[in-house]
Amino acid sequence: MPGVCALILKELRFRPVNAALIVLTVAAASGLVVFYQSGASALSEHAAQAEDATRRIQKAMGSNLTLIPASTDLADYYDAGGVSPDTVADSVIDRLVAQDAVSMNHLILMLEARVELAGRPVLFTGIAASQHTPGRPKKKMNDGVEPGTLELGSAVAEALGVATGDSVEVLGETMRVALVYVPKGTAEDLRVYADLADAQRLLDRPGQINKIEALDCVSCQDPEQEALTILRTELASVAPELQVQREADVANARVLQRSVLAQQSGVIERFHGVMLPVILIGVPIVIGAITVLNVRDRRGEIGVLRALGKGSISVGVLFFGKALLLALLGALLGVAAGWMLVVFRGPGVFEVGTDSLRPGAVLLVSVVAGATLFAALAAVLPAVWAVTQHPADAMRED
């Protein structure tokens, strides 16, 4: 007889609607999977990049959280230009660093005071090297200041007429200038940094600090919760003697970024939560049902093939092979259509650039393989039904 493949092809041309239904179903499903999956990976990449960018910006800007003594009245704090009159024991750092749940990192202990230096008011800051929560190793943001030395803002150095290597007297002690900062055009130009222990001694506040600067932790935040609430809750249990203030610009940017990401991931969640299950269940049902109808339509044919001595394999392949072939065709068409969809509609739907929306070869191959596998599974039972038809009974049907 003409080979089974030839029979399959001829039957396809004879019943094009039946074949087209399978091809279209598989193509639509594969296309959607390629489209949304490309979107999903672009978005997660995008989200990771956005987080990275935010983190880099924050690092460049310095810290975005300020912890000050809880007893300080905020009005006094801001009136005093961000210097708290109260202090707490610097051992609080041990509690902040020791526990995992704390959503902040890069903690820098500070003791600040307004002092006069050569008759000019400056902001004098004792600063320690930044400390990190164990298990979240990060590059040190701040190495502190070498004991016995000072680091000067440019305006201070200019007013005093000193340069790196010169000596300066501060609060009765003479210290060497280790570094003069380049002019920044901000209040930084009026600061004088010293080692924390030196500052505690000079200001006569041993073991005390009045500020901790920190970076809140983007990746360990629950996107559903407002960061401030989380931070306050954590502080209340870990270090109730502190309160938190945030850098307004960074906080706003974070809120904006989070809302964009939430909107994008909503599209993806609807796909994963609704569409994908519908596809995974629906496509095999459609293919199975169409194949069952096809077997029923062709019972006489099955009977005559058996009567002519054709084996179970031939009959099974006739139906199984057909489903497989159509699914493969559908998957290839679907993958191509999905790709087009990604290129032309993707940027609009996912709100990410065309460059990051490139369906990977792994995705394309696995969609084709997956669709074919699903079709195969769906066609097994109908094909078995075809094979187990009693030839004489099969022919009695029509």
Partner 1 sequence: MADAMIQIDAVSHRYTGKQGRIDALNAVSLSFRPGELALVTGPSGSGKTTLLLAVGGMRRPTEGTVRVGGDDLYALTAAERARFRAAHIGFVFQTLELIPYLSAFENVLLAATPRGAGQTETRQRAEQRLVDLGLADRLHHKPRQLSQGERQRVAIARAMLNGPKVILADEPSGNLDPDNAHAAFAALRAFADAGGTVLVATHSTLHHDQADRVVTLRGGVVADTVHESIHV
- Of 253, 272, 249, the residue nearest 261 (C-alpha): 253
Is 303 among the residues that bind partner 1 (CB under 8 A)?
Answer: yes
Is 311 among the residues that bind partner 1 (CB under 8 A)?
Answer: yes
Of 61, 187, 260, 392, which one interacts with partner 1 (CB under 8 A)?
392
CB 221 within 8 A of CB 40: no
The span of 180-188, 276-284, 306-314, 335-343 binding partner 1 (CB under 8 A) equals 306-314
| Matching residue, tokens 């999977």 | 33
The span of 27-35, 175-183, 309-317, 340-348 binding partner 1 (CB under 8 A) equals 309-317
- In angstroms, the CA 251 to CA 230 distance is 14
Of 134, 137, 185, 309, which one interacts with partner 1 (CB under 8 A)?
309
Closest approach of partner 1 to the CB of residue 14, in Å = 3
Would you say 132 or 310 has its CB closer to partner 1?
A: 310
DSSP 309: T
Is 395 among the residues that bind partner 1 (CB under 8 A)?
Answer: yes
Is 139 among the residues that bind partner 1 (CB under 8 A)?
Answer: no
CB 214 within 8 A of CB 107: yes
Closest approach of partner 1 to the CB of residue 321, in Å = 14
Is 2 among the residues that bind partner 1 (CB under 8 A)?
Answer: yes
The span of 3-11, 143-151, 165-173, 360-368 binding partner 1 (CB under 8 A) equals 3-11
Closest approach of partner 1 to the CB of residue 312, in Å = 9
Cα-to-chain-centroid distance, residue 6:
51
- Sheet of 104-117: strands edge to edge? 167-170, 173-180, 149-152, 191-195, 120-127, 104-117, 211-216, 65-69, 242-246
Instruction: Show the DSSP H helices in the chain as ranges.
Output: 4-14, 16-61, 74-79, 92-98, 154-160, 196-202, 227-238, 248-270, 276-297, 299-307, 312-350, 361-387, 391-396
Would you say 266 or 311 has its CB closer to partner 1?
A: 311
β-strand partners of 209: 88
- In angstroms, the CA 340 to CA 337 distance is 5
CB 94 within 8 A of CB 107: no
Is 308 among the residues that bind partner 1 (CB under 8 A)?
Answer: yes
Question: How many residues in the shown chain lie near partner 1 by CB under 8 A?
Answer: 24
Exposure on the CB side of residue 137, measured as CA atoms within 13 A: 0
CB 185 within 8 A of CB 203: no
Would you say 307 or 369 has its CB closer to partner 1?
A: 307
β-strand partners of 105: 215
Which residues, in sequence order, are CB contacts of 337 under 8 Å at separation 6+? 27, 31
* 352-391 residues near partner 1, rule: CB under 8 A: 391
| Matching residue, tokens 């095999």 | 284
Closest approach of partner 1 to the CB of residue 12, in Å = 9
- In angstroms, the CA 304 to CA 398 distance is 13
Closest approach of partner 1 to the CB of residue 22, in Å = 17
Closest approach of partner 1 to the CB of residue 337, in Å = 29
Of 102, 212, 305, 357, which one interacts with partner 1 (CB under 8 A)?
305
Is 251 among the residues that bind partner 1 (CB under 8 A)?
Answer: no
Is 17 among the residues that bind partner 1 (CB under 8 A)?
Answer: no
Is 398 among the residues that bind partner 1 (CB under 8 A)?
Answer: yes
Q: Which helix (H) or strand (E) holds 67?
A: strand 65-69
Closest approach of partner 1 to the CB of residue 3, in Å = 6
Closest approach of partner 1 to the CB of residue 390, in Å = 8
Going by their DSSP bridges, the two strands 173-180 and 149-152 should be labelled as: parallel
Is 10 among the residues that bind partner 1 (CB under 8 A)?
Answer: yes
Is 101 among the residues that bind partner 1 (CB under 8 A)?
Answer: no
Is 275 among the residues that bind partner 1 (CB under 8 A)?
Answer: no
* Residues contributing to the site for partner 1 (CB under 8 A): 1-3, 7, 10-11, 13-15, 300-301, 303-311, 391-392, 395, 398
